[in-house]
Structure formats: C-alpha cells, structure tokens
Amino acid sequence: MFTKHVISYVVIGTLFGLMAGGGAFGQTAPSHRRWASNVLLPQSREEAFSLRGPTGAIKVTAVEASVKIVDQVAATTLTVRLHNTSRTRQEAELVMPVPAGAVVRSFTYEGAGEEGQAQVLTKEEARRIYDSLVAKIKDPALLEFVGYNLVRSSVFPVEARAKTWLRLTYEQVLHAQGERVDYVLPRSEMLGYALGWELAVDIEARQGLATVYSASHQVKIERINDRRVRVTVPKQAQQEPGPFRLSYLLERDGLTGSVLAYPDSEADGGYFLLLVGMGNDEAEAGRRQGLKREVTLVLDRSGSMRGQKIDQVREAALQLIAGLEKGERFNIITYNTTVDVFSPEPVVKNATNEKAAQRHLEALQAQGSTNIYDALLEALRQKPTEGTLPMLLFLTDGLPTVGNTNEVAIRQMVAKQNKHARRLFTFGVGFDVNAPLLERLADKSRGSATFVLPKEDVEAKVGQLFDQLAGPVLAEPALEVNKADGNAATGRTMDVLPALIPDLFANDQLVVLGRYVGEEPLRFVLRGDYLGQEQQFTFAFDPADATTQHAFVGRLWASRQIAVLIEAVRQLGAKPGVSSSDPKVKELTEEIVRLSREFGILTEYTAFLAREGTDLAAIPALEEQVGKNLQKRAMRTRSGRGAVNQSFNLQSQKAQTSLNRRNEFMDAQMRQVAVDTVQQINDLAFYRRCGRWVDGRLASDDKAAARARVVTFGSPAYGQLVATLVKQGRQGALALGEEVLVEVDGEAILARIR
C-alpha cells in the first residue's frame, strides 16, 4: 500500500541560459538537494538514468498526453506509467522539458494525498542543479532539449516490482502569428526512441476554426462544430519520433491562410509553407451554393472484370449517382473492345434518370478486350454543362489491348482533347494496370490516382474518394506572388509544389511548399472560382518571421521535390530507347542524389546511401547506381506489383504534409520498410559510419574526421559547442551517440562523450 507523499517540484530555466551564465559546462556545482538514484526523462528515455541504483530498474511503459486548448491557452497533461523491475524499492524523480513560459499547475503521483507547491528557480540556482545532473550521468541525451525549460519533481518511491503512474499538468499561452496558433510538445528526435505516446488535443476557440495541421505527425481530425475540434494521433503514427507540432488557423471571411518559413543559411532566402483552410461555413456553402459537379463515369467491362469486380463497380456507380446533390449531372461510359454511352450528354440527377442508370448498369456484362484510348476520347469530347465542375472517374483493371495501345499516344491524346479541363480521377484495380499512365493522367488534370489492391473493395475505394469531392469551394485555383506594393514579385519564389494547385472541396486544406529569395515582404495571392464567383485571397509573408524552429518546412519541400524528379524520370521511361544515360535522365538523377544526401530523404531507389559500406564521397558512382535503379524500376517497370508499389510511394511523397523521419516506403513486394542508419536532426542529416554519426555535409569528405577538432563531453569547449548548436537549432545532433562528426560554422568537429 502506498504511503502519503508531499510532492514538490520546481521549474528550471532554459538550459542555454544555464550554460551561458558563466563557468565551465559540466563543472559540478553544489545542488540544493541530492539527486534520486533514478532520474526519469520520458521525452527521451524509456528507462531511468541510474545514478546509484541498478541500471534500468525503472522503466517508462507508456505516456498519455492530453492537451486542452481554449482561446490560445493550452493545458498539457502528461500521464507517465512506470514499472520498477527490480526486487527493491527505488527512489526516483522526474525531469521534463517544457516550452518557455510554461507554468506547472499540478504534479501528482499514485498514492500521494496532497499536491506539492511550485517554485521558480533563479538562473543561478537552476544552473547549479543542471550542472550537477549532467556531471553525474555523463549522458548527452539531455542536450537534445537545450532551449526548453525544465520541470524537476521531488523524490518519490516506486515499490519493488510495482507498476505505478505520475501525472504532470502545465499551462502556457501559445504563440500566435496572425490567424495561426502554434503548439509544440517536446519529444526526442532519435529513431531509437520507440515508445509510442497516446496523444489527443481538444481545441476550442471563440472564433471559428478554419483548419488544423501537423507537420510532425499524421493526425485524425474530428470537427465537433465550427469552434471545436478534436485531434488524435492514430496508433500507427504514435511511435514517430520528434516533437509533436500542431498549428491551427482561426477562421476569417472566406479562406484563411498563413505562412511558415525556414531561413536557408547557405542562400539569400529559404523555404516556405503556405497553409490554407476553410471553416464550417465555407464547407456548408460549398455544399449548398457552390459549383455543381458533373461526373462522367468511365467503367471497364472487359472480360477480366468478370465476377465480383463488375458487381462492385456496378454498386459503386449506383452509390455515386445517389450521392450527387440536387441539380448535379452525370453520365456513364462503359468500354471493352468498343465504347458505349448511356447518354449523348450528361443528364441531371432525378428519379427518372437515376432509374434509367440503374437499368443500364444492371445490364452490364464483362467480356471483350480493353480499349482505353477510345473510351477516354469519347469521355473528353463531350461538352460539359455550363456552371459545373466537370469530373471524370476512369476505372480499369488492365492494360490497353485494342485500339491505340501506346502509352505516350494515350497521354498526348488526353492532353490535347481535354479542352474543357475535366478533372481525371483514375482507378487501377489490381496489379495488371499501367500505373505510370494512370498517375500521369490524373496529375495533369487536378485529379488523383487510386489503386485498388487485390481483395480490396472497389466500391469502398471509389466511395471514399467521392466523399472527399463533396462541396466544391475553390475551383481553378492559381497562386501569384506579389511584392508588398502589389506589383509582381518576379523571381522571388521558385520550385513551388504542387505546380498545379488542386481544387478545394469542403473541409479541405491546402499545403503549398516552395523556396523564396530575398528578405523583403511578400504577398501570396490565391485566385479562383470561389463558390461560383471569381475571388482572390491575400496572405502576407515577411521573411523576417522565418525561424530555425521551422526546419521541417525545408525537409517537406525536399521530399516532394525528390518525388517530382523521380516521377519525371518515370514518365521518360514511356518513350522507346530512353535510358539512364540520356542527358535528361542524368540531370534528374544528379539532383535526386544531391537532395537525398543533403536532407537524408531516402526512397527505394536511394536507400543504399544509408548502408555502412556506401562511400558517400564517390558521387559519380552513387549517381550511376541510382541511375541503374531508376532505369530498372521507375523507367522499365510499367505494370505489375512492382509498378503499383512505386505509385503508392510517389503519391504519398508528392502530397506529403508531415515528416517521414524513419524514411518508410513500400518495397517491390508491397512490404513496408524503414531505414535506421540515417537520422534527420532539424535541417541536417546524419549517416551511421564506422560506429559514429557523420553530418551529411561532411560525408563526402573522406579527410573530415582526420582534420576535425576533438571536443570531449563535459569540457568548456563542449559547452561552447552546445551553445552554438542551440543558436542554430541543431543541438539534437549531440544526443545521437558517443561520437558525432558535425560541421559547425565551416569547421569539422568530432564530439565525443568519453
């Protein structure tokens, strides 16, 4: 049975302030009280730092984070579950990084009858405590959180073999920039930290909420109403390392937008992320008074569709027609060797036409060959109804076998004949489809490609996509960049992705990434057909607001850019005779290798860069190997399992909005794989080489280690190194391992723990 404990705790000042306060870093100074035998840092370690007791005696088994944000004030409650695996009672205390300005509201421990009182330490007192801890544990793990404040609890017992919990609640006023409010929950960036955190955030605002976005983790967003949103991290994403980042936009008239930016120290400019969202009012208006949809269903009824597939396609078509709103229109085109049309022109949805469509679909029989060229030509030539958003849902389970079967010819025909700017949404059923072709048709028309794997439900996949196309809010969007005076800012942005901005539908959000040049303020102008009328929305951007805390922006841009380059190589593979030695392919390959090495973003074509035996200094050899991989896979593999897996990877990467720190992708057998020998720290990439982690900027310099200045953990020079890296937002590099080779202000430094 637990005895009553009085828990006291203190808030420690920022670690950078502690080190900057004078004296040598690592020097042991008297503490106001001794440290417990076990020190817990759940943000970074799954077991306690052991000072006197048995190593690994106390383990963190789970962390549950519950965040409640009300009008820009966030209350974060962390419940940490512990297990004493030893046969003896252990004493422990908690050390936890928290954002600047946080105020601890409560700290409770299972069995404690009273809550303790908070005490804010002076910088001098905090420094003595911090130096004392670092000198004892001789572990750089804490250095990852330099720049945060720290909370330290009083000592509490954990009974032998017992499982127990402790709970900390702190509050903070969140940073706001215009309509955007940002929240950060500190967590380790290290891939080795595998403890998943259950995480839920409830947001409530007096203003409406336009959108919620996480750059760090995949999230599930549930709208309670226009002012309340619940955000959770699904189980498969709970082990993703790195701090949890969340931003939300407060609603204003029309669309709301904000710009997050990261300055590039190597160039005059940096990287930007434009986030645009809409509130419930805009979503509802899109359903009620926005553009009406005109949907043309182009359905494969060749012999390979016989059985369950044709039944599912029939049900999917009926479901889509039933889901159309009043006044919206549809048509049905079916194809095998020949092409059949339900109506010479799209018809309005009503009871009569719906019943006629049902009879037409029930009469379908799967037989014959696959004439993709003529089916698309027939669908594109129809003139859409004025005032509608024309969509084409094209479904096939095979390769073109009759008519014009040439991939390049089909692409060129669609580009030429799509005079009415129909959005093509393609569905590939099974593996026997030309995956690059289906992707290309969708990408060039503001549509998307969906692949239905064997044993997956065609009806469910089609219905899922169609649900996302409800309530068109902004059609034909185009982005312009102006100077503060409204004149065109020519040359101020480049490599903007996506190049063709998709239409926005109800509850959509838009994430645009790119590079900016110069330091003068800019205005992003988003134009388009907004709820049936031409409108524009202006979002201000001042490069002075760029911060190293937004390093994820550059990495997200690089990931998308690599995917765009790979896709370009893949499409060149449709042309006979083109190989990896072609000048265009070589140029694309060189850029893929450069970005992959610099940012540590690996794909199925470049994963070998992370192998211990790969010489990253041998650039020509690396480019040759990547070129061979691209030729064999991206260029030559057009159909089958190995083509569909590439489409899954590229689609995910081209639309990426959150970090992929583990470099996960699907291999040619459709298995999920990850890379653990490259680490992404802030804006840098580190590669595992001969027992040490090497900065990607030094990885191509085989003499870097020999000339590097050695800095030993605990020395005054190490403290200066930490302070410099804090200013750059790169202090997490020192927590990688016992030896880290890093470039700091042009100098190679080998940081050693012992």
Per-residue pLDDT tens digits for 697-727: 999 888 999 999 999 988 889 889 988 998 8
CA separation for the pair 738, 752 (Å, rounded):
6
The three-state secondary structure class of 169 is: strand
Quote the strand ranges of 405-508, DSSP E: 423-429, 448-452, 472-483, 493-497, 504-505
Residues 49, 38: contact at Cβ < 8 Å?
Answer: yes
Please give the C-alpha separations between residue 214 and each of 221, 328, 751, in angstroms, as whole numbers: 10, 35, 33
Residue 59 neighbours by CB under 8 Å, 6+ apart = 46, 47, 48, 82, 83, 85
Q: How many CB atoms lie within 10 A of CB 19?
A: 24
586 is written with which tokens? Answer: 């070589």
DSSP 242: S
Average pLDDT over the chain, rounded to whole? 90
183 is written with which tokens? Answer: 């929240």
Q: Where do the structural domains in the chain lie, given as residue ranges?
A: 9-248, 292-470, 550-677, 690-754
Confidence of residue 484 (pLDDT cuts 50, 70, 90): very high
Q: Report the range of poorest mean pLDDT among 461-475, 586-600, 639-653.
A: 461-475
Closest C-alpha to 347, from 309, 321, 366, 375: 321
Q: Do 9-248 and 292-470 show the same overall fold?
A: no
Q: Report the range of poorest mean pLDDT among 114-123, 208-217, 421-430.
A: 114-123
Give the per-residue pLDDT at 713: 86
Instruction: Write the DSSP string, 664-729.
Output: -EE-TTS-EE---SEEEETTEEEEEETTEEEETTTTT-TTHHHHPEEEETTSHHHHHHHHHHHHHT
124 is written with which tokens? Answer: 């001098």
Domain boundaries 9-248, corresponding CATH code: 2.60.40
Burial class (CB in 10 A: 0-12, 13-18, 19+), 17: middle
Question: What pTM did the predictor assign?
Answer: 0.93
Instruction: Find out if CATH 3.40.50.410 is the number for domain 292-470.
Output: yes
Mean pLDDT of 97-107: 86
Residue 659 neighbours by CB under 8 Å, 6+ apart = 215, 216, 217, 240, 242, 552, 555, 556, 680
CA separation for the pair 129, 32 (Å, rounded):
7
Instruction: Write the DSSP string, 18-35.
Output: HHTTSS-TT-----SSPP
Closest C-alpha to 241, from 738, 735, 752, 740: 735
Mean pLDDT of 8-17: 38
CA separation for the pair 421, 386 (Å, rounded):
13
Burial class (CB in 10 A: 0-12, 13-18, 19+), 346: buried
Q: How many CB atoms lie within 10 A of CB 512?
A: 21
Kind plus residue range of the DSSP H or E element containing 582 = none
Confidence of residue 365 (pLDDT cuts 50, 70, 90): very high
- The predicted-structure confidence for 13-72, as pLDDT tens digits, reads as follows 343 333 333 333 333 333 457 788 999 999 999 999 998 888 889 999 999 999 999 999
